[in-house]
Amino acid sequence: MSIRAIYKDGVFKPLEEVPVEEGTEVDVYPRTDERKQDKRKRPWKSVMDSPAFGIWKDREDIGDGVDYVNRIRKYRHRPDQN
């Protein structure tokens, strides 16, 4: 379960209704500015930047990706096999 809260005046105050009994001990894992900085250090790269992108573009036996996957599945999932 995840509960959104804000830390103010030394107390964590929930931003929504909390389905927990009064006095229940909980663990809190706050998101800090430090985590935000880590994300800025490692920006997401496009899949097109990968050296593996496009390695099958010249293959004529694969054709459309959907058709290729359906051909593979046809042999793995035959109705006569249970």
pLDDT in tens, the chain (82 residues): 888 888 899 998 999 998 889 899 988 888 766 655 555 666 778 888 888 888 878 888 777 778 888 888 887 766 665 4
Asked whether the whole model's pTM tops 0.75, one would answer no
Q: For residue 79, what pLDDT is reported? A: 63
Distance between start and end Cα atoms, the chain = 39
Q: For residue 57, what pLDDT is reported? A: 80
3-state secondary structure 4-73: CEEEECCEEEECCCCCCCCCCCCCCCCCCHHHHHHHHHCCCCCHHHCCCCCCCCCCCCCCCHHHHHHHHH
Q: For residue 35, what pLDDT is reported? A: 53
Q: For residue 51, what pLDDT is reported? A: 87
Domain ranges of the chain: 47-76
